[in-house]
């Protein structure tokens, strides 16, 4: 039984209401010696907060680093007045695989840790107290996204023990990461809304195509377009409707303007269901080596980042989301990439509102056999591995592209889809693997946004197999860190030479950096400009900035990383990755002043004409 991917974010309207199940849930790690009977409450006194990762809420190191299956459970009541409505249980995300039971009956199964799913639960409900039970797996292997190196052994009693060695550089946080809600709709309801703006820049108007899917029996669907003051600016009707906005206010980077499509299902002259979908009016495209927003060349300034905070792990933390965007704006940044998975819907809605430009990325990280911090031996045009023979992630990849675009298709903040991060695009078979995925993304997106993948250092201009698939060349490069460490003069030459080669080979494609950075210990200083010092980090960024400004088709700099973040243990990591411009608690390192001065002096538009 598969949970249905939810297209509309749950909101309260005149016809809908929400019951929030966030809070304290029962928790237990699965013991293979004991069967769990889901028809009875879990036999545990342990608890976990939701939404949050379980890992950093425990004081037990064994549980924190646990790989395998674990359980959550919560009781809830449904008011009698809602019993005749359609009732839907919705999870914002469960990482990485979930089986959901209501009163002992399975209602949903979903694999994939960063997109929502839901199930109607009317038939499973009983009078009085109800119970939702969730079995979760945090296991990753060569069929999942992200990719993990999976192995299974047995202890001396014959009990299974699982091990996952992450094929990526962030901690494998797991649990119920985003809100859990029960929402109501009428039995006849609006199920999906697709908003596709088309702008006439000559007369400052926009045609807004609004496609809606209705379930049940409606006589008509009426649509009202509301401006930011919630006043009606135009209206139309039908499941395939066209509205025209005169004197349109465009959604611009750091200057957001949001309209609302109020969609009403009508029957016998009465409004049965209402849903309100916010949207911005803007146009994105690539042209002549530039990235265009609203027909003007846009320059990306910003970050790769993570959903990663103390205690919450990857769990939704809206206070941190607000702080992060405020810190970005103060620095003059205008964008970030959802590295390396789709972020929460709450963050996407906030970016719409705040005018933050987003590159939306799938969880396709770790698509290579040789994950290592030493890339120097691998950077040559003849390097090969067997990635595309041994990985079996195509099915999961197609699923997450569908789910990501279904969820985020109407967000004005999303200007580009990133199909993968640091895959083996240099190996034989890469083109055959990625071509159908790019075709799928372009087919599914009603707004036809540009598509890219983020290329690891081994994906050189000579070695790359797939550059013809991308609209933007997005590069992760660490000259001066993983290569030429401490030698910024040589790193500068390497940076410049490679960017010029990309531009010469693909003069019509924009080029940007989606990662570049140097691990830096906050408070470590050196008169010798030593790596890991704050002085070295600043000089590293100054070197890169100098080269960026020389390359005509270079359209953006998103550094790695916004803030320090947790990773698995290893001698290359000291309590995680320290490439942050901010510490994990969001205190600035010295380089933040330099970058803030640079970015605040670079306009969002027309920096390079």
pLDDT 10s digits, 261-301: 999 999 999 999 999 999 999 999 999 999 999 999 999 99
Segment 85-98, tens digit of pLDDT = 999 999 999 999 99
Angle at 143 between CA 142 and CA 145, to 5 degrees: 95
Decide: 554 and 512 in contact? Cβ < 8 Å: yes
Residue 257, Cβ density class (10 Å: 0-12 exposed, 13-18 middle, ≥19 buried): middle
Q: Which of 4-8, 90-94, 369-373 has the lowest mean pLDDT?
A: 4-8
- Catalytically annotated residue among 276, 277, 422, 538: 422
Adjacent-strand bridge partners of 157: none
Share of the chain above pLDDT 70, in %: 96
**Cα–Cα dist 471/468, whole Å:** 8
The arithmetic mean of pLDDT across residues 533-541, rounded, is 98
Residue in the structure block whose two tokens are 């996204």: 145
pLDDT at 371 (0 to 100)? 67
Name the average pLDDT for the chain: 95
Edge to edge, the sheet with strand 259-267 lists 232-237, 220-226, 259-267, 270-279
Phi, psi of 243 (to 5 degrees): -115, 145
State how far Cα 417 lies from the chain centre: 10
pLDDT at 1 (0 to 100)? 43
pLDDT at 3 (0 to 100)? 46
User: Does residue 515 carry a catalytic annotation?
Assistant: yes
Q: Cα Rg for the chain, rounded, in angstroms? A: 25
Taken in order of first residue, the domains within the chain and their CATH numbers are: 17-185 (2.60.120.260), 189-279 (2.60.40.10), 302-600 (3.20.20.80)
| Whether pLDDT at 100 is above 90 | yes
- Catalytically annotated residue among 97, 515, 538, 557: 515
**Cα–Cα dist 5/404, whole Å:** 10
| Whether pLDDT at 488 is above 50 | yes
* Helix, strand or coil, per DSSP, at residue 604: coil
Angle at 555 between CA 345 and CA 510, to 5 degrees: 95
pLDDT at 4 (0 to 100)? 47
518: which 2 tokens? 């140097």
- Measure Cα distances from 382 to 422, 458, 484 in Å: 18, 10, 21
**Cα–Cα dist 248/208, whole Å:** 11
Q: For residue 8, which of 175, 208, 176, 195 has the smallest C-alpha distance?
A: 195
The arithmetic mean of pLDDT across residues 486-506, rounded, is 98
Q: For residue 514, which of 565, 474, 543 has the smallest C-alpha distance?
A: 474
Q: For residue 353, which of 424, 259, 231 has the smallest C-alpha distance?
A: 259
Adjacent-strand bridge partners of 337: 304, 359
pLDDT at 382 (0 to 100)? 63
533: which 2 tokens? 């010092």
pLDDT band at 574 (very low <50, low <70, confident <90, very high): confident
Decide: 103 and 137 in contact? Cβ < 8 Å: no
Q: Can you give 445-503 as a three-state secondary structure string?
A: CCCCCCEEEEECCCCCCCCCCCHHHCCCEEEECCECCCECCCCHHHHHHHHHHHHHHHH
pLDDT band at 35 (very low <50, low <70, confident <90, very high): confident
Q: For residue 119, which of 101, 133, 95, 103 has the smallest C-alpha distance?
A: 101
- The alpha carbon dihedral of 34, 37, 43, 44 has a sign of positive
Residue 544, Cβ density class (10 Å: 0-12 exposed, 13-18 middle, ≥19 buried): buried
Segment 130-188, tens digit of pLDDT = 999 999 999 999 999 999 999 999 888 778 889 999 999 999 999 999 999 999 999 99
DSSP letters for 380-403: STT----HHHH---HHHHHHHHHH
Decide: 84 and 120 in contact? Cβ < 8 Å: no
* Helix, strand or coil, per DSSP, at residue 241: strand
Edge to edge, the sheet with strand 296-297 lists 284-287, 290-293, 296-297
């Amino acid at each position: 039984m598969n949970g249905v991917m939810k297209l509309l974010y749950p909101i309260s309207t005149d016809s809908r209401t929400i019951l929030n199940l966030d809070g304290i849930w029962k928790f237990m790690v699965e013991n293979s010696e004991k069967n769990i009977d889901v028809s009875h409450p879990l036999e545990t006194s342990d608890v976990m907060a939701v939404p949050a990762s379980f890992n950093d809420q425990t004081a037990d190191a064994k549980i924190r680093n646990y790989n395998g299956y674990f359980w959550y459970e919560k009781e809830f009541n449904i008011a009698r007045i809602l019993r005749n409505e359609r009732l839907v249980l919705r999870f914002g995300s469960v990482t990485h695989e979930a089986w959901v039971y209501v009163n002992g009956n399975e209602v949903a199964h979903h694999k994939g840790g960063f997109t929502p799913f839901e199930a109607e639960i009317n038939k499973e409900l009983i009078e009085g107290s109800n119970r939702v039970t969730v079995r979760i797996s945090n296991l990753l292997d060569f069929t999942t996204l992200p990719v993990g190196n999976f192995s299974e052994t047995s202890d001396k009693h014959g009990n299974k023990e699982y091990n996952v060695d992450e094929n990526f550089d962030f901690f494998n946080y797991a649990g119920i990461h985003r809100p859990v809600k029960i929402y109501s709709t009428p039995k006849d309801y609006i199920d999906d809304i697709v908003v596709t703006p088309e702008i006439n820049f000559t007369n400052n108007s926009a045609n807004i195509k609004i496609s809606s899917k209705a379930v049940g029996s409606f006589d008509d669907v009426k649509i009202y377009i509301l401006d930011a003051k919630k006043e009606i600016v135009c209206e139309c009707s039908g499941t395939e409707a066209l509205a025209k906005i005169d004197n349109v206010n465009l959604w611009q980077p750091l200057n957001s303007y949001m309209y609302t499509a109020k969609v009403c299902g009508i029957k016998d002259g009465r409004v049965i269901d209402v849903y309100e979908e916010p949207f911005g009016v803007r146009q994105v495209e690539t042209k002549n080596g530039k990235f265009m927003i609203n027909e003007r060349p846009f320059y990306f300034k910003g970050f790769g980042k993570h959903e990663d905070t103390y205690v919450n792990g990857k769990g939704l933390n809206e206070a941190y989301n607000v702080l992060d965007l405020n810190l970005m704006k103060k620095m003059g940044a205008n964008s970030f990439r959802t590295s390396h998975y789709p972020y929460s819907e709450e963050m996407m809605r906030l970016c719409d509102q705040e005018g933050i430009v987003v590159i939306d990325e799938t969880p396709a990280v770790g698509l290579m056999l040789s994950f290592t911090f030493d890339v120097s031996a691998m950077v040559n045009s003849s390097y090969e591995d067997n990635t595309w023979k041994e990985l079996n992630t195509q099915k999961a990849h197609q699923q997450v592209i569908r789910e990501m675009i279904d969820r985020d298709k109407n967000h004005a903040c999303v200007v580009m889809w990133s199909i993968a991060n640091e895959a083996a695009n240099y190996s034989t078979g890469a083109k055959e693997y990625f071509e159908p995925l790019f075709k799928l993304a372009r087919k599914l997106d009603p707004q036809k946004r540009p598509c890219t993948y983020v290329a690891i250092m081994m994906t050189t201009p000579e070695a790359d197999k797939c550059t013809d698939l991308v609209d933007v060349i997005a590069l992760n490069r660490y000259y001066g860190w993983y290569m030429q460490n401490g030698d910024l003069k040589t790193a500068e030459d390497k940076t410049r030479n490679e960017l010029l080669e990309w531009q010469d080979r693909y003069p019509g494609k924009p080029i940007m950096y989606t990662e570049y950075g140097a691990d830096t210990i906050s408070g470590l200083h050196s008169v010798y400009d030593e790596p890991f010092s704050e002085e070295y980090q600043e000089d590293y960024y100054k070197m890169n900035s100098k080269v960026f400004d020389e390359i005509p088709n270079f359209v953006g700099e998103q550094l790695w990383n916004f803030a320090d973040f947790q990773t698995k243990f290893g001698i290359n990591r000291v309590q995680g990755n320290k490439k942050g411009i901010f510490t994990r608690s969001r205190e600035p390192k010295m380089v933040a002043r330099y970058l803030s001065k640079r970015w605040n002096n670079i306009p969002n538009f027309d920096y390079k004409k």
